[in-house]
Amino acid sequence: MSLTNCKICKSKTIFKFEKMVLKKYLVRYYCCPKCDFIQAELPYPLEEAYADAIVEKDTGVLFRNILLAEKADLILKKNFNCRAKFLDFAGGYGVLTRLMRDKGYNFKSYDRFCKNLFSQQFLANDFIDSNEKYELITALEIFEHLENPLATIGLLAQKAKAILFTTELIPENQDLKNWHYLSTDTGQHIVFYSSKTFEYLAQQLGFYYYTDQVSLHLFSKAKIKNLIFLKNNNKLIKAIQFLKLGINFVRFLPKAQFAINADSKLSE
Ligand SMILES: [Zn+2]
């Protein structure tokens, strides 16, 4: 079987390169000349790549969640209704939901495949079927796993005013065959996006598109005025965390009480 059409814009794709995946499958990667999307043609059932929903080699999972929570906090405070409902799509162990709830946001988590460990009381198990609308949905390192990205991202677009997500953009001027994000030892990354892909997708779905040009992206139905996150501001985030550590030490009890109160109120 050969893939011929782009999963995003339906244009005819072009064979780009092939690479050994899971140490035993020769996978062919196809590129779309119109929107620059890259998709893998899988010679193996995708389930084989998912013995564990969160693969053992993913040592960056907590760091990513903490960093995204800080960035999301900045973005939400400046641009969105912080009292509204939020959802972390494919939220895994529920780490981001926990971190965002600790900051006072009404976040819930949805994940069909992974057991939630950190925010079990705040699951949105009926997410797919319900008519619930969200101020913003987060999707951390999810889009590169999607077998049918148009359907999934389209679903999120119906349910939220904005989507904040991470996935690494296809790098320019690099030998893609050796790009680490192909994740050939896990076999889980199967689709890849450029900023051109997301610009096309945002236009189709009625969003404005904002990006840090590396891995953090925002689709928003309203124009975003404060783009602080567009600066690759990890130093700024670290400074904020350092300051908060000091402040929270002083205010530890009231802060913890606030988090407990916020959660007990919402679970009633
Ligand atoms: Zn395309």
Residue by residue, DSSP assigns 47-106 as GGG-SSSS-TT-TTHHHHHHHHHHHHHHHHHHHS-TTSEEEEET-TTSHHHHHHHHTT-E
Residue 93 alpha carbon to ligand 1 centre in Å: 32
Residue 140 alpha carbon to ligand 1 centre in Å: 22
Residue 12 alpha carbon to ligand 1 centre in Å: 8
DSSP 177: G
DSSP 38: E
E strand or H helix that includes residue 164:
strand 162-166
Residue 197 alpha carbon to ligand 1 centre in Å: 7
In angstroms, the CA 161 to CA 101 distance is: 20
Q: So what's the pLDDT on residue 229?
A: 66
Structure tokens at 5: 């059409």
218-225 CB contacts, 8 Å cutoff, 24+ apart: 218/75, 218/162, 218/163, 218/164, 218/165, 219/157, 219/162, 219/163, 219/165, 220/79, 220/161, 220/162, 221/161, 221/162, 222/79, 222/161, 222/162, 224/75, 224/79, 225/78, 225/79
Q: So what's the pLDDT on residue 243?
A: 54
Q: So what's the pLDDT on residue 196?
A: 97
- Of 191, 253, 248, the C-alpha closest to 29 is 191
Residue 38 alpha carbon to ligand 1 centre in Å: 8
Residue 240 alpha carbon to ligand 1 centre in Å: 39
Residue 89 alpha carbon to ligand 1 centre in Å: 24
Give the number of residues written for the chain. 268
DSSP bridge pairs for 94:
none
Residue 251 alpha carbon to ligand 1 centre in Å: 51
Q: So what's the pLDDT on residue 264?
A: 47
Residue 144 alpha carbon to ligand 1 centre in Å: 15
Q: So what's the pLDDT on residue 44?
A: 78
- Of 51, 210, 56, 57, the C-alpha closest to 136 is 210
In angstroms, the CA 152 to CA 62 distance is: 24
Q: So what's the pLDDT on residue 143?
A: 97
Task: Give me the residues of the chain with pLDDT under 70, please.
Answer: 1-3, 51-58, 229-268
Q: 61-267 architecture in CATH?
A: 3-Layer(aba) Sandwich (3.40)
Q: So what's the pLDDT on residue 260?
A: 42
Q: So what's the pLDDT on residue 1?
A: 43
Q: So what's the pLDDT on residue 262?
A: 45
Q: So what's the pLDDT on residue 257?
A: 40
Q: So what's the pLDDT on residue 240?
A: 52
